[in-house]
Amino acid sequence: MVAVVVDAFGQLGRTPDLTLVDRCETPLRLCTEWASTAGVSLKTTQADLATFTGDRPFDLVCTHSFLGYFDPAARAQLMHTWHRNLTENGRVITVNRLRPGAQAGSIGFTPEQSAGFLSRTEAGLAALSAVASAAEVRKAAQEWTSRFQTWPVQSSQALEALCAQAGFTAAIEVVDGGASRPKGPGSPGGARFAHLVAQK
């Protein structure tokens, strides 16, 4: 995401003042390393984005396929947090999968998807041998598939209503994501995606 934002601003001849927020240390470290290599200035903050308060307002919030990590109540709180942290006329730009007709509540890996994930993990064990043992990698993969949950966004109308409740005006374009076979509960598998720009 950091690279995408830097590239977009670069095409306009602009240099963004970037802050990356994540509750997990791993992406913060990875992005810090990338920014250092690319000569990009990046501030990082380890925090839960749903309750985060910046030390100053932001002009833009960017995420990708992020809303599904929040149940409906937490998702509404997230949108209000974004609204609070933005400057007047600030914007949220994101892409999220739509799941028309999805069941209420969360969904996880099916047994078939879990087996496929573990098989792909096994295939990549050699590349990870310097970081962790095969047993550690297998255990982490099994835990991931057993614990992972996503809360589907069912329609662009639901997304628009979510934005309106938080005080945003939403512009949404729905695009076809192609017809790939789903490999997990959050993977495309012929899905449609909402491209969202929400303005405060």
Residues 35-71 have pLDDT tens digits of 999 999 999 999 999 999 999 999 999 999 999 999 9
Which letter, b or e, does each residue of 48-61 get, where b requires 16 or more Cβ atoms within 10 Å of its Cβ?
A: ebbebeeeeebebb
DSSP 189: S
* pTM given for the model: 0.83
CATH 3.40.50.150 range(s) for the chain read 2-105+151-199
Domain covering 2-105+151-199 in this structure, CATH number:
3.40.50.150
Residues 72-117 have pLDDT tens digits of 999 999 999 999 999 999 999 999 999 887 777 888 888 898 888 8
CB 96 within 8 A of CB 193: yes
Beta bridge partners of 176: 192
